[in-house]
A and B are shown apart, each in its own frame.
Chain A
Amino acid sequence: MTKAEIIDCVYEKVGGFSKKESAEVVEAVFETMKDVLARGDKVKISGFGNFVVREKKERIGRNPQTGEPIPISARRVLTFKPSQVLKNVLNPDKAAVRTKTAESA
Chain B
Amino acid sequence: MAMTKSELIEAVAERTKITKSRAELVVNCVFDAMTAALERGEGIEIRGYGSFTVRDYKPYDGRNPRTGNQVSVPSKRLPFFKVGKELKTLVNQGLAGGGSVEADHDDDDDDDE
Contacts and interface: CB of A to CB of B under 8 A. Distances in A.
Is the pairing of A and B real?
A: yes
Given A46-B113, A50-B110, A25 B26 contact: yes
Contacts of B92: 75-77
A77 B27 CA distance: 25
A42 B106 contact: yes
Contacts of A28: 12, 15-16
* Residue from B39, B94, B112 having most chain A Cβ neighbours under 10 A: B112
Interface residues of A, number: 60
Please report whether the interface of chain A is mostly helix, strand, loop or mixed according to DSSP: mixed
B8 A43 contact: yes
B58 interface: no
Interface of B: 1-5, 8, 11-12, 15-16, 18, 22-23, 25-27, 29-31, 33-35, 37-39, 42-50, 52, 54, 74, 76-81, 83, 86-88, 90-95, 99-106, 110, 112-113
Interface of A: 1-3, 5-6, 9-10, 13-14, 16, 24-26, 28-34, 36-55, 57, 74-87, 89-91, 94, 98
Given A32-B11, A46-B113, A87-B78, 15 more contacts: A1-B43, A3-B47, A6-B30, A10-B29, A28-B15, A30-B46, A32-B3, A40-B99, A40-B101, A40-B105, A44-B5, A53-B106, A55-B102, A78-B91, A83-B113
